[in-house]
Amino acid sequence: DAMVIQNPRYQVTQFGKPVTLSCSQTLNHNVMYWYQQKSSQAPKLLFHYYDKDFNNEADTPDNFQSRRPNTSFCFLDIRSPGLGDAAMYLCATSSGETQYFGPGTRLLVL
Amino acid sequence: GNSVTQMEGPVTLSEEAFLTINCTYTATGYPSLFWYVQYPGEGLQLLLKATKADDKGSNKGFEATYRKETTSFHLEKGSVQVSDSAVYFCALPANQAGTALIFGKGTTLSVSS
């Protein structure tokens, strides 16, 4: 089935050690999103791509970066993870108003 | 930009009880409205949507009607099951220009047998 895939499902990193989360899609959608979701909170948009155009939310910390090398793949790079970055990271795609989410990557920072 | 307010839980029900989760919004124009569901440890899944006033979205026994008079999009189900236990998010586009969504704070539903 066409879907949004996130790897890994669980990621453990050390304080300050760079980490990359991956997302791929088989839906061929032109928009991809990264959300951060902390425990018992709503997802918060970090940034999104419209094709190759990158759109950063105003309050997204500089510590978070993203790359989209092609339509299918999108990466979230956290340059120096802090304890406060521990969260679920959700990737989503859309070709209209409806968004389709991956299962998420849960990041633990030790 | 647009905003959404969702009733906070948790909501605890017995199996076969009636469910209502309230959602109200403020928006420019008449955007599409969505309900997403998140099962434990999983990402969000689209549950239903409505694209214009008076539309009723429905899926898996859940329904929600787009009411512009009351700017509401309440989620209802006539008879809940244990498997409906999850977190439910009301959502709409953040503004008219883009496709990014804003979400309510989520309502945790717990159904016991």
Find chain A residues with C-beta within 8 A of B89's C-beta: 42-43
pLDDT at B28: 86
Sign of torsion over alpha carbons B65, B84, A103, A1: negative
With 70 as the cut, is the pLDDT of residue B100 above it?
A: yes
User: How many Å separate Cα B91 from the centre of its chain?
Assistant: 7
CA distance B101 to B3: 10
What average pLDDT score do residues B85-91 get? 96
pLDDT at B1: 82
Contact B76, B62 (CB under 8 A): yes
List Cβ neighbours of A46 (8 Å cut-off, separation of 6 or more). A34, A35, A36, A56, A57, A60, A64, A66, A76
**DSSP annotation string for B20-85:** EE-EEEE-SS---EEEEEE-TTS-EEEEEEE-STT-EEEETTEEEE-BTTTTB--EEESS--GGG-
Q: What is the overall mean pLDDT for chain B?
A: 93
pLDDT at A1: 63
What average pLDDT score do residues B93-110 get? 86
Half-sphere exposure of B16 (CA within 13 A, CB side): 1
What residue of A is the nearest CA neighbor of B99?
Answer: A97
pLDDT at A18: 96
Find chain B residues with C-beta within 8 A of A21's C-beta: none
Distance of residue A80 Cα from the nearest chain B Cα, in angstroms: 25
From first to last of its 110 residues, chain A has per-residue pLDDT tens of 669 999 899 999 999 999 999 999 999 999 999 999 998 888 999 999 999 999 998 889 999 999 999 999 999 999 999 999 999 999 999 987 788 999 999 999 99
pLDDT at B10: 94
Contact A37, A87 (CB under 8 A): yes
Phi-psi region of B71 (alpha: psi -120 to 50; beta: other; left: phi over 0): left
**Residue pLDDT, tens place only, B37-83:** 999 888 899 999 999 999 999 999 999 999 999 999 999 999 999 99
